[in-house]
Copies of this chain bind each other. A is one copy, B any other.
Amino acid sequence: MADDNVVYIGNKPVMNYVLAVVTQFNNGASEVAIKARGKAISRAVDAVEVARNRFIEGAKVKDIKIGTERITTDRGETNVSIIEIVMAK
């Protein structure tokens, strides 16, 4: 998968990320990876579900991975959960 077929989920409204996913598929991507960490994980699942159910015909969830990343904040190092959801159509 090319690097640009990735949508990183942040703190914006869900529909922003749904649009990003839809755009990638419309531009010819056969797979799109949706990545998030921490509290944005819930929003990542929302974005995938809305894209899949309402916008992208025949889209499937091909793979879901979870994991842990070590990040440095102003209060020292901490662990954060991550998710990567691969959609394919």
Instruction: Give the complex CA separation of A53 and B42 in angstroms.
Output: 21
Q: How many chain copies does the complex carry?
A: 2
**Chain B hits for A85, CB < 8 A:** 66
Interface residues on A, range: 20 to 34
What chain B residues lie within 8 Å of A48 (beta carbons)?
Answer: 66
- Which residues of A are in contact with B by a Cβ distance under 8 Å? 38-42, 45-46, 48-49, 53, 61, 64-68, 79, 81, 83, 85
14 contacts between A and B (CB under 8 A): A38-B42, A40-B42, A41-B42, A41-B45, A42-B81, A45-B81, A45-B83, A46-B81, A49-B66, A49-B67, A49-B68, A53-B68, A64-B66, A66-B85
